[in-house]
Amino acid sequence: MKILVYIETFEGTVRKSALELLSYANDLKTLKKGSITALAGPQINDETITCLARYGADKILVIKGADKSYSISSSKAETIRQAAIKEGSEIVLFTGSVAGKALAPVVAAKLKAGMVPGIYTLPKSLEPFTINKKVFSGKAIATVTVKTPVKVLILLPNSFAVKENPVPAVTGEFPPGIAEPATAMFPGIRILDTIRTNDQTRLTEAGVVVSGGRGLSGRENWRYVEELAGLLGGATACSRPAYDEGWCPHDGYVGQTGKVISPNVYFALGISGAVQHLAGISSSRLMVAINKDPDAPIFKSADYGIIGDIQEVMPRLIEAVKNFKSPPPVIK
């Protein structure tokens, strides 16, 4: 089984989600002997190449010779299509990031391949190719069968454990594909530059997410969200009203119409737990809710609940986390 893994990079480094994809591809190989080609770039550094080999990429193709127009999805999709054909790939893997979800359907259409988004586990069978996927924001599971020779799969971020699997990888270069203007998704658009807006951990990949809702009562209390997230090395998020109020500087809120996340720990600060919000966070492994209303619906979903006012609970919680990280000296 030949597997092509599309590796998203930013400023030369790979994201954790790329290592999840490689770990997934390695487990696929246990079902049927095969090889993994990682397609990455163009800004990839030597350290990253070594990292991809450590996580099981048998072959690493770095996209070389791309100009800034390459940033446009149509060109990327064309490059991936060409790589899949050249490598004879039967499975093309993407992560469920914004970019992955935009590229995968285009690549699938170009390859006339069946596509399954929302996968989180290995196929139930390879012949026929049958796999479970999450639907309705993770509330239900659908079992689907793909009949096309090539399959395009989108793996949910944070759904597959990262495992090292060092191999002696072969590296090579791959030319960027240029989308025909007639088939380009945005023919009139040229990318001039790409600028990072903040240094925060990406929301969809973060292990810890601290999220604020209308119960924060004002922009000035967003600092609680940022401080706790900073202490725990996590990302910040918010409910839709907090986003609408402009309290949340991040590029999105979570929920049915926002981002869908599955962190290890989700802190909900002053969030009621409306179904539309829960739709984006129900796959969290552990949920901690802080709310002054003991009857708030969020407590039905939370693993741990603190009933209290944000203004009283948060300074104490932040202090406790600081002390936990650096215990105060023991006075004898």
Ligand X SMILES: Cc1cc2nc3c(=O)[nH]c(=O)nc-3n(C[C@H](O)[C@H](O)[C@H](O)COP(=O)(O)OP(=O)(O)OC[C@H]3O[C@@H](n4cnc5c(N)ncnc54)[C@H](O)[C@@H]3O)c2cc1C
Q: In the set 3, 107, 291, 306, which binds ligand X (CB under 6 A)? A: 291
Q: In the set 66, 155, 248, 310, which binds ligand X (CB under 6 A)? A: 310
- Using the rule CB under 6 A, is 307 a contact of ligand X? no
Spatial separation of the C-alpha atoms in residues 234 and 210, rounded to whole Å: 7
Question: What is the signed CA dihedral for 277, 279, 282, 284, rounded to 10 degrees?
Answer: -70
- Using the rule CB under 6 A, is 247 a contact of ligand X? no
Number of residue whose CB is nearest ligand X: 255
How far apart are CB 109 and ligand X at their closest, in Å? 28
Chain residues 185-244 in contact with ligand X, contact rule CB under 6 A: 213-215, 217, 239-242
The continuous run of DSSP H or E covering 288 comes out as strand 286-291
Q: In the set 50, 125, 183, 257, which binds ligand X (CB under 6 A)? A: 257
**Residue 35 phi/psi, 5° resolution?**
-140, 155
215 touches 297 (CB < 8 A): no
Tell me, residue by residue from 260 to 289, as one string, x for binding to ligand X by CB under 6 A and - for no binding: ----------xxx-x-xx--x---------
300 touches 320 (CB < 8 A): no
In one-letter notation, the amino acid at residue 242 is: A
Show the tokens assigned to 39: 């397609």
- Using the rule CB under 6 A, is 256 a contact of ligand X? yes
**Residue 63 phi/psi, 5° resolution?**
-75, 115
Show the tokens assigned to 304: 């741990």
256 touches 236 (CB < 8 A): no
- Using the rule CB under 6 A, is 309 a contact of ligand X? yes
- Using the rule CB under 6 A, is 318 a contact of ligand X? no
For ligand X, the closer of residues 21 and 271 by Cβ is 271
In the complex, which residues of this chain contact ligand X (CB under 6 A)?
213-215, 217, 239-242, 253, 255-258, 270-272, 274, 276-277, 280, 291-293, 296, 309-310
